[in-house]
Amino acid sequence: MADPSVPVTVALLAAEESSAATIFGFYDALMSARRDWAMLHGGAAQDSPFRPVVVSEDGQPLTTGNGVRITPDACFAEVPAPQVAVVADLGIPPGADPGPRFDAAVRWLCGCHAAGGMLASACSGALLLARTGLLDGLQATTHWAYCEHLRRAYPRIGWQADRGLVVAGEGQRILMAGSGVSWHLLVLALIARFAGAEEAMRVARINLMDLNDATPQAYASLTHGSRAADPVIASCQQWVAMHYAHPSPVAQMVALSQMAERTFKRRFSAATGMAPLEYIHHVRLEEAKQMLECGEVAVESVAFDVGYSDTSFFSRLFRRKVGLTPAQYRQRFGRLSREVQGRVH
């Protein structure tokens, strides 16, 4: 994991054939790491552990596919050794010879890798990684429409169109995403590698990143929102964060507040926007989501550990608030969690 005080430089290659959507989607996802979760939960402001930089051969403004105008931050010579160099998808027809116009980009990519950096490609960006020679003898992936053409052009590379994400090479310093929005897995893998799997999962949930259909409820953090300005209620929120499984949490908060029960409930609702019991449910369910993502503990045990002795009640409540049953949530987000955790090293 990277030193959080030193941002990880991620250079995003821009060319006339590039997709601006992928470049800036990648840029935004990296910038959102740590920052957005803290903002949504009312925590202290945090900077992203990444420094994305858009680079091109000469650093001059260019027009990408669909007429989107980009002004790069730097030229290749100004960013010779980023920790990560990313080639987004390129609008080059399958089987077409791109000619010499990418020779400088290929040399730059080779130099980045030789300096110890990681190389990454999204979709048809694999065209440039293949030209570096660094993929020879390795498994690789790209958009399904390009695989057969690349297999013929680069027979020493094991092209796999069905792989959403491939990590290969010495030190696992080459990462490749396949078709379409598989670049989501690529950016999550990079975030996991440098900022930790938990942070990658947070970015995934905030940005609804998954390859399967899912209700946005499933990604939502049920405990979003800031700490109450009311110091008494804020202290109760802090207590709940540590003791959410207490058998009588509302009664305990009333006792801590030293208020009459009706006064406390009215003041808590005014400060947080929800009744105390509803708030408890949200905190418990958020903890349950974390447990379902990261482990194989039985649903009954998860329910008990977060404060519910009735598993049926827990399951009904979870489905109503999250939009999925606990088992469905584990199946979907446990897979994604395992995927990003597996790319940390």
- CATH number, domain with residue 186: 3.40.50.880
What CATH number has the domain bearing residue 314?
1.10.10.60
Could you give the CA distance from residue 87 to residue 106 in angstroms, rounded to a whole number? Answer: 10
Provide the percentage of residues in the chain whose pLDDT is more than 70: 90
Q: Give 102's contacts (C-beta < 8 A, 6+ positions apart).
A: 15, 128, 131
Q: Are residues 56 and 161 in the same domain?
A: yes
pLDDT at 43: 80
- For the stretch 34-68, pLDDT in tens is 999 888 888 888 899 999 999 999 999 999 988 99
Q: Are residues 252 and 197 in the same domain?
A: no
Q: Are residues 64 and 180 in the same domain?
A: yes
Reported confidence tier of residue 313, pLDDT bands at 50, 70, 90 = very high
Residue 21 lies in a domain: yes
Q: Are residues 186 and 245 in the same domain?
A: no
Q: Are residues 197 and 249 in the same domain?
A: no
DSSP 90: B
Residue 164 lies in a domain: yes
Q: Are residues 111 and 242 in the same domain?
A: no
- For the stretch 196-254, pLDDT in tens is 888 888 898 888 776 454 554 555 556 655 567 889 998 999 899 889 999 999 999 99
Reported confidence tier of residue 293, pLDDT bands at 50, 70, 90 = confident
Reported confidence tier of residue 1, pLDDT bands at 50, 70, 90 = very low
Of 181, 211, 241, the last residue of a domain is: 211
Residue 3 lies in a domain: no
List, in sequence order, the alpha helices (H) in 207-323.
231-243, 249-257, 261-272, 276-294, 299-306, 311-322
Residue 219 lies in a domain: no
Residue 226 lies in a domain: no
Residue-level length of the chain: 345
Q: Are residues 206 and 244 in the same domain?
A: no
Number of CB atoms found within 10 A of residue 66's CB: 9
Residue 17 lies in a domain: yes
Residue 220 lies in a domain: no
Reported confidence tier of residue 2, pLDDT bands at 50, 70, 90 = very low
Q: Are residues 205 and 245 in the same domain?
A: no
- Who has greater pLDDT, 157 or 164? 157
pLDDT at 310: 96
Cα angle, residue 37 at apex, residues 186 and 193 outer, rounded to 5°: 30
Q: What is the mean pLDDT of the chain?
A: 88
Q: Are residues 154 and 55 in the same domain?
A: yes
Spatial contact of 12 and 27, defined as CB atoms under 8 Å apart: yes
- Who has greater pLDDT, 281 or 323? 281
| Euclidean distance between the first and the last CA atom of the chain, given in angstroms as a whole number | 9
pLDDT at 209: 78
pLDDT at 180: 65
DSSP helix, strand, coil percent of the chain (3-state; round to 5):
50, 10, 35
Number of domains in the chain: 2
pLDDT at 181: 65
Average pLDDT (300-307) is: 96
Inform me whether the pLDDT recorded for 276 exceeds 90: yes
Q: Are residues 168 and 270 in the same domain?
A: no
Residue 344 lies in a domain: no
Q: Are residues 195 and 292 in the same domain?
A: no
Q: Are residues 203 and 329 in the same domain?
A: no
Inform me whether the pLDDT recorded for 119 exceeds 90: yes
Q: Which domain, by its residues, includes 16? A: 8-211
Average pLDDT (122-138) is: 94
